[in-house]
Structure 1
Amino acid sequence: MTFDPVFAIERIADPTFVSENRRPAHSDHRWFADLDEARSGVSAFEQSLNGLWKFFCARNQGQVLPDFADPSRDVSGWDDIRVPSHLQLEGYDRPQYVNVGYAWDGQEDIEPGQVPERDNPIGCYVRTFALDCPLAEGERLSVTFHGAESAIALWVNGRYIGYSTDSFTPAEFDLTDALVEGENRIAAQVFSYSAGSWLEDQDFFRFSGIFRDVTLYRRPGVHAEDIRVTTAVADDLASAQVRVRVELDGAGGAVSARIEGVGELARDADGAFVVQVEEPRLWSPEHPHLYDLVIEVRDAAGALTEVVPQRVGIRRFGIENGVLSLNGDRVVFNGINRHEFGLNGRVPSRELTESDIRMLKAHNVNAVRTSHYPNDSAFYALADEYGLMVIDEMNLETHARWSRIRLHGESLDTALPGDHDEWRPAALDRARSMLERDKNHASVVIWSCGNESSGGTVLRDVADWFRSVDDRPVHYEGVHWDPRYPETTDIASQMYTPAAAVEDYLRTNRDKPFIVCEYAHAMGNSFGGVGEYIELAYRDELFQGGFIWDFADQAILMRDRYGREYFGYGGDNGEAPHDQDFSGNGIFFADHTPSPKAQEMKRLYQGFVVDVSESSFALTNRLMSTSSAEYETRVSISREGRILTAGVVDTDVAPGGSAVYPLPVAIPAAAGEYAIVVSLHLRTETAWAPAGHEVAFGEHVLRVGEPAAGATAPAAQVAAPAPRLVEGTLSIGVHGPGFHVTFSRIFNGLTSYRFGETRTGGRELLSGAVTPNFWHAPTANERGWGGPFEEGQWLLASRYGRASGFHEPADISVEQVDGGVRIGYRYELPTTPVTHCDLSYLVDGAGRVEVTQRMHVPEGLPQMPEFATMLAMPADYDRVRWYGDGPEECYVDRREGARLGVYDRHVPDMLTPYIRPQEAGNRTGVRWAEITDARGAGLRFEGDPIMEFSALSWTPAEIESALHPHELPPIHRTIVRPALMRRGVAGDDSWGSRPLDRYLLPTGDLEFRFAFRGIQNR
């Protein structure tokens, strides 16, 4: 066969050139030769073309080999490339992370529809294949590229087959008439940028290539081309009707259908197959029951041609009584946005997808928005099976064009697709390709017209088309910014609106249910104050929850020049333009392990509110269809992390109900601090967690008798002789049995603490002067609102505050008091206006040092990031054990998921590995903490009665200077920062939103008290 070029490459810049010779979109069902084969899951009708392809990368259209698909061309010298994969992760071109702008922004000046001329990598793929078995009479063969970014042109044996855009839905082509006996040669050009790329400006790494499976499909002479399953559930939920419509390809065929355990479906007058199901087991996230539908297709002679297994979830979803409802119950979306992204980029594997879903279920997530494109088909089957409600979003985002309207004041006429008729075919094609593929999945409850693309008639027409073929509600957030066609969306939707503003909006806007389709922008150390949204969802029925941005950090595993692995973000591949670490928004890390934010999300999303008191607990059930009786309710009482007594309570609280139960255990009479925890656990194993997995908890802390252990009250300490005071010329010493404390008159504070009887006078436990501290390495959110610019004088105050100098006396006080010596420093701080901080130390005869830090913060100074004391210890003291909130990092506005206990860690592991280092590792509610070496010697810190506590291996300056965790310097010290308070991390967004007022440090008079003392080997 000779080469037939036909395809005109310049057409890739035509917005109306959406596809050519591509087979119509259809359901994602599979077909098998018989029922046994269907049970095996391996279809003889499928043949994978995954694997190594020969590959040549052209830099742009001008470098494409015009005869690359000619069967006579020798490609043996070409490279090998894996399919599926991305060009950029296989060594061709560079990965590029961009949030808002198009990848070519500032590089080439082109208009919508046009493609970059200089830099448009085009992957030329070639491979051969032979059919596993010859085509039977009447059979046809097609190939499906399940994902090719951004457009693909296809040849077989030199014959041009067709073209397709839309990176994230299948491109299927019939190959039958181009086949030859024996070996066939398939060739594809995949264009990084086509006209369709103007509709694909999502917040993600810009990749290209064949990134999903490539599969050959044999279609029998009589074949179920499309299947549509719908369910209608009665108002009383006591019965349901299942309707199945099968579109046959081929003459004279016949179809039969049955549902296992229900019976045969009967042919209705309109040609659909129908069955009535009595007392149906309804699908929901809590009980994702699926029925097994089996469709058999026979030819005119009655011979079986194929068997189609289809899992069916019977459920009713829609807007009922003004709210989004599932099976008659109001829905609250405990949702998350999920990019399909892992260590191989957007190359999906079923194993990773299933692992993701298990983790989401285990963390109480009940819904996913596929941001901002249809996922691989396996995701929806798994969401059906595990129980996730899905907003299925079509592949559309034109954020950069929308930003021109918002930021530069351009007319709505410039929006894409806007009101432009030439973009309507592409938009409708993307909607159709998604809906037809995904329509039979019970998990899909809402169709979304895309993301951040303004408004206009094109998207209005897309929404109308959705409604014309399906009964699921339609979502589109862009109506909030362009309200000309409010009918585009059935749901009022906004992004990153603070909870208080949502509540204000709903006071006067009551016509549609409301969701925040993106909220709680989880960039770096953030996700603070998110509980405000959750509580609002249960105060106002129209607010039906939202979807966190987002699931996992987008980052690429890379190696630096020294061979060290790290996760790279925008700019790390030398790309431009880029948006730096803005890809690090995950509740989970780039390797899909949970970050500390997951601890908070799990608690906020739990299905039960558990209010615990000294004698009882109140249990409120927020689930839709599950009684608390399905879970084991456990009660425990512990003291300093050790469980003293435990019991089990049988509860039976119906969905939406509440009940109060007495505690089955008694509070001990002995003095001390006790934590009462009531928790709910799975009674039996589920697909996503083992039996015993905790789904919800509540905690109450109470004190009996004396103050909590670790309080700094002198009465709690053993009396000791007064220490010896030695006032030298430049130093002041305070000494007692087994300890020596030295204060400097010229180096700004306490500089030495030696403890323990040894030949050298004890171990030195400090590595420098103790100082007040007001600064930490800025978080992503703090950088986003400009905190370092506004608050930089607190950095100067922390690093350069002074109490003395070589040529002037220290501002220091020394006095002997009953049982001890008090040394006080006054630090002058370089703020505007100048302020002062007092730091005093009361040393008793046992070597215990009580620290008091006082300061008056006048109105007018910028916000203080923290009010803390900083000291350094030798690096060998690298174990930390604390009694306080944990186990994971927590802050004043992100501590709902923490609970009181005794925890221990290795100090180098206390800095949470966000993709860009920043303030991290804090613990709230700390009663005491111990920093020790491997033998158990070190310092014990005690709150008065509580403190916040940080123990890291690097100073704030070292953390701030590193752009990636692997760039942190070698460890030389352990940096300890007890604090009165660290400012909340904030959580509404990462480009301007600050912590809520109650999570900010106050102005006026501040006082922080804690103590430390040496401890010996245990």
Structure 2
Amino acid sequence: QKIGFRKFEMVNKVMHLNGKRIVFKGVNRHEFNARTGRAISREDMLWDIRTLKQNNMNAVRTSHYPNQTLWYELCDEYGIYVIDEMNLETHGSWQKLGAVEPSWNIPANLPEWQDIVMDRAISMLERDKNHASILIWSCGNESYAGEVLRNVANYFRSTDPSRLVHYEGVFHNRTYDDTSDMESRMYAKPADIEQYLNDNPQKPYISCEYMHAMGNSVGGMHKYTELENKYELYQGGFIWDYIDQAVMKKDRYGREYLAIGGDFDDRPTDYGFCTDGIVYADRKVSPKMQEVKFLYQNLKLIPDTKGVTIRNENLFEGTGDYELVYSLLHEGQEIARNVSHVDVAAQTEAYIPLTFPSTDEKPGEYVIHTALVLKEATLWAKAGHEVAFGQHIFIVEDPNPLKAPIAGALRVVHGDVNIGVHGTDFTIMFSKGAGSLTSLRYAGREMIATPPAPLFWRATTDNDRGTALGFEAGGWFAASLTRKCVDIEVTEEQTDRVTITFRYTLSIHADVQVTVTYTVLADGSLNVKSTYEGVSGLPNLPIFALSFKVPADYRHLDWYAMGPEENYIDRALGARLGVFRNEAADNVSGYVVPQESGNRTGVRRVDITDDSQRGIRITAPATAPVECNISPYTAFELESAGHLYELPNVYYTVVTVAGKQMGVGGDDSWGAPVHEEYQIPADQKLEFEFTVQRI
């Protein structure tokens, strides 16, 4: 919506616009062009403003300096709230490697700094004061506190009493608390925010920076957005940040790549610390945006089997500009679709009945998908653009669950080294020497390029490195490379099924036991079950999985899972259950420093095929889905590369099926752990199961 006429007042110490509380669903934004390394063009700005609107962002903080005038004009026109920030940061004068030591701080209370700092404040206000989009003036960034900045805040108030004043640095020195009209903090944990809001707060709360989006991040963001409706004084926050600050460069072979700190022989440097955006430096949307868009929805859709509750959290706009599109899917396939016109006024909710065909006669998994889409094109999106969605998943039980017997007969050959299982047009071989499944041959096509092995390590993310995961949990890295098969047993041998169990011990601890059980059925399908017996006293597991390679020709993927973008257990609310297609190479996300990426949770089925649509299908029951990462590279290849161009040529498709992978986190990237409920304690038993079939 356009902001238009603006009126501010403090009502019960809460920021209001026309009497209604604002929640900032924002992002910090730099002006940056990766190809030139300089200020961006009008075309870039238009792309940015539309991207913000299309992904439900309503606010921008101009960190840490005023932006080009055109940006404010676009924010006026498109309806974006702005914190306009003065050009000031003296972070290095008072904080060293995280330690606060303000004895050398500037501008502090030093009169020699007053005029030059005030000049910046005056220049910003006089240039930008007529832009309706600006709600708040900011005194700058990370410059501690002192009389100089308090004088700036009082200048803003006296010259422009219609706007509020922001400054975060008083958090470090409450003597100057009156500098800021709001409590503003950086990277406060959700629990810390709640503690403030529950402790007789005197000011509304904003996170001027939160959800440090460096690399594979933005996990656990829902813990922040859930505070919006829980606390009247919680006013949202601004993700750090909008776009990576990488710069295009050529490697020694003349190929362009996005370069980071250190790539220009610059020392000192913070290396990849400039790549913390939800948009890549080349202005492509990163998969993190999927979660941001969902959690920033002003329109909440909560469907059930009879209808959908629409909760309109907009301040002014009803739902008249949108169509409600709803569909019913069975096992991922759409069987019904309807469109309805709904009118839910701002700040209200309504329950809308929905009409669907009966599901009683056809057992299986169903999804009711609801979405609000634009009826007509706007300045920022085309007609049909989805602004909000919600899903309801339910299962209709089969009244006759008994399955028909599988036709065919198996022949087992016990050799000195190998155990072979033969059926109609397939052979499966297990090796006592390799301690694993070594061949899965369907119609003469070999699917196993490298045998399956238990995996406990993922390529560390930027957030993992910030918490020293490699040091704390590096034993699981070694365990993934140094397992020892201690027992192989044929536990069942029938004409229609053969079961072979491998038992492994791991170098991390003598008591760790992992079993992988393969059951071959007469139709050639292979059931795989992996079990980890918990052991206390060990670091948490990054992942519990089974990983193997197939030939690189098998690169086409067809998913029935949560998607379409990568997702993790702490970043899956924005994902939806459906059928999606991509290539194995697509699952190496464009994070400038290679790391874990491309995971899918809730996997019921994924087909891995070649150009002739032959290959294998991996399935898991809807009641116990698995996680899958299917990529051209192993976790260890990704771990060893400092840039995407350092990854090797592609020779395989790496299939990793996991019972569970830890979350990615994102409260910050320099020590904040993944939230406890999204970690994997080593003392618990873990088990998962899936089936491999030919296609």
TM-score, L = length of structure 1:
0.66
Specify the alignment match of 2:587 in structure 1: 910
Give distance in 2, aligned partners of 1:944 and 1:418: 62
Secondary structure class of the residue paired with 1:480: helix
Q: How much has 1:406 moved relative to structure 2?
A: 5.6
Percent identical pairs in the alignment equals 45
Contact preservation (8 Å) 2:247, 2:260: yes
Secondary structure class of the residue paired with 2:395: strand
Q: Aligned ranges for residues 86-165 of structure 1 at < 5 Å? A: none
RMSD, aligned CA: 1.6
Match status 1:687 vs 2:687? no
Amino acid at match of 1:785: T
Secondary structure class of the residue paired with 2:689: strand
Structure 1 residues 889 and 718: CA distance shift in structure 2, 3 A: farther
Q: How much has 1:720 moved relative to structure 2?
A: 2.4
Contact preservation (8 Å) 2:600, 2:627: yes
Q: Aligned ranges for residues 859-878 of structure 1 at < 5 Å? A: 859-878=536-555
Specify the alignment match of 1:753 in structure 2: 440
Secondary structure class of the residue paired with 1:825: strand
Structure 1 residues 753 and 744: CA distance shift in structure 2, 3 A: same
Match status 1:316 vs 2:7? yes
Give distance in 2, aligned partners of 1:328 and 1:718: 68
Match status 1:961 vs 2:651? no
Match status 1:784 vs 2:447? no
Q: How much has 1:573 moved relative to structure 2?
A: 0.5
Match status 1:998 vs 2:677? yes
Contact preservation (8 Å) 1:402, 1:415: yes
Q: How much has 1:375 moved relative to structure 2?
A: 0.5
Match status 1:973 vs 2:652? yes
Q: How much has 1:318 moved relative to structure 2?
A: 4.0
Give distance in 1, aligned partners of 2:394 and 2:569: 20
Q: How much has 1:400 moved relative to structure 2?
A: 1.0
Give distance in 2, aligned partners of 1:345 and 1:491: 34
Amino acid at match of 1:482: N
Match status 1:460 vs 2:150? yes
Q: Aligned ranges for residues 296-315 of structure 1 at < 5 Å? A: 313-315=4-6
Give distance in 1, aligned partners of 2:112 and 2:489: 77
Per-residue Cα deviation, 1:883-916 (whole angstroms, up to 9, x for no partner)? 0111100111111111111111111121112101
Q: How much has 1:872 moved relative to structure 2?
A: 0.5
Match status 1:444 vs 2:134? yes
Give distance in 1, aligned partners of 2:215 and 2:626: 24
Q: How much has 1:648 moved relative to structure 2?
A: 2.4
Specify the alignment match of 1:931 in structure 2: 608
Q: Aligned ranges for residues 710-749 of structure 1 at < 5 Å? A: 719-749=406-436
Q: Aligned ranges for residues 353-364 of structure 1 at < 5 Å? A: 353-364=45-56
Amino acid at match of 1:789: F
Per-residue Cα deviation, 1:145-189 (whole angstroms, up to 9, x for no partner)? xxxxxxxxxxxxxxxxxxxxxxxxxxxxxxxxxxxxxxxxxxxxx
Q: How much has 1:962 moved relative to structure 2?
A: 1.1
Per-residue Cα deviation, 1:780-810 (whole angstroms, up to 9, x for no partner)? 1101101011111111111111105xxxxx5
Amino acid at match of 1:558: K
Q: Aligned ranges for residues 983-994 of structure 1 at < 5 Å? A: 983-994=662-673
Give distance in 2, aligned partners of 1:816 and 1:849: 14
Specify the alignment match of 2:351 in structure 1: 660
Amino acid at match of 1:777: A
Per-residue Cα deviation, 1:379-428 (whole angstroms, up to 9, x for no partner)? 00111011100000001111111214961x63x34211111111111110
1:852 paired residue among 507, 510, 529 = 529
Amino acid at match of 1:366: N
Q: How much has 1:584 moved relative to structure 2?
A: 0.8
Specify the alignment match of 2:236 in structure 1: 545
Per-residue Cα deviation, 1:306-359 (whole angstroms, up to 9, x for no partner)? xxxxxxx32113433311111111000000000111222232211111110111
Q: How much has 1:664 moved relative to structure 2?
A: 2.8
Unaligned regions of 5+ residues in structure 1, if any? 1-285, 289-312, 757-761, 805-809
1:676 paired residue among 365, 368, 390 = 368
Specify the alignment match of 1:400 in structure 2: 92
Per-residue Cα deviation, 1:924-960 (whole angstroms, up to 9, x for no partner)? 1110111111001111101134111111001111111
Per-residue Cα deviation, 1:600-619 (whole angstroms, up to 9, x for no partner)? 11111011111111111111
Match status 1:1012 vs 2:692? yes
Specify the alignment match of 1:774 in structure 2: 456
Give distance in 2, aligned partners of 1:903 and 1:927: 12
Q: How much has 1:994 moved relative to structure 2?
A: 1.5
Matched pairs, number? 689
Contact preservation (8 Å) 1:637, 1:667: no
Amino acid at match of 1:901: G
Contact preservation (8 Å) 2:312, 2:318: yes
Secondary structure class of the residue paired with 2:94: helix
1:434 paired residue among 110, 124, 127 = 124
Amino acid at match of 2:427: H
Amino acid at match of 2:574: G
Unaligned regions of 5+ residues in structure 2, if any? none
Match status 1:891 vs 2:568? yes
Secondary structure class of the residue paired with 2:474: helix
Structure 1 residues 707 and 969: CA distance shift in structure 2, 3 A: farther
Per-residue Cα deviation, 1:450-507 (whole angstroms, up to 9, x for no partner)? 1111101111111011111002100000011111111100010001111122011111
Specify the alignment match of 1:287 in structure 2: 2
Amino acid at match of 2:363: A
Match status 1:374 vs 2:66? yes
Secondary structure class of the residue paired with 1:950: strand
Secondary structure class of the residue paired with 1:383: helix
Match status 1:342 vs 2:24? no
Per-residue Cα deviation, 1:175-215 (whole angstroms, up to 9, x for no partner)? xxxxxxxxxxxxxxxxxxxxxxxxxxxxxxxxxxxxxxxxx
Q: How much has 1:658 moved relative to structure 2?
A: 1.4
Secondary structure class of the residue paired with 2:74: helix
Q: Aligned ranges for residues 688-703 of structure 1 at < 5 Å? A: 688-703=380-395
Between the two structures, name the one with larger relative contact order (CA 8 Å, sep ≥ 6).
Answer: 2
Q: How much has 1:689 moved relative to structure 2?
A: 0.4
Structure 1 residues 815 and 664: CA distance shift in structure 2, 3 A: closer
Q: How much has 1:817 moved relative to structure 2?
A: 4.4
Q: Aligned ranges for residues 220-231 of structure 1 at < 5 Å? A: none
Contact preservation (8 Å) 2:2, 2:77: no
Give distance in 2, aligned partners of 1:642 and 1:848: 24
Contact preservation (8 Å) 1:634, 1:649: yes
Q: How much has 1:674 moved relative to structure 2?
A: 1.5
Specify the alignment match of 2:248 in structure 1: 557
Give distance in 2, aligned partners of 1:566 and 1:652: 49
Contact preservation (8 Å) 2:60, 2:82: yes
Q: How much has 1:509 moved relative to structure 2?
A: 3.8
Structure 1 residues 907 and 339: CA distance shift in structure 2, 3 A: same
Contact preservation (8 Å) 1:742, 1:750: yes
Contact preservation (8 Å) 1:402, 1:452: no
Contact preservation (8 Å) 1:948, 1:979: yes
Secondary structure class of the residue paired with 1:500: helix
2:475 paired residue among 787, 790, 793 = 793
Give distance in 2, aligned partners of 1:748 and 1:371: 56
Contact preservation (8 Å) 1:813, 1:825: no
Structure 1 residues 405 and 362: CA distance shift in structure 2, 3 A: closer
Give distance in 2, aligned partners of 1:846 and 1:747: 25
Q: How much has 1:816 moved relative to structure 2?
A: 1.2
Amino acid at match of 1:508: D
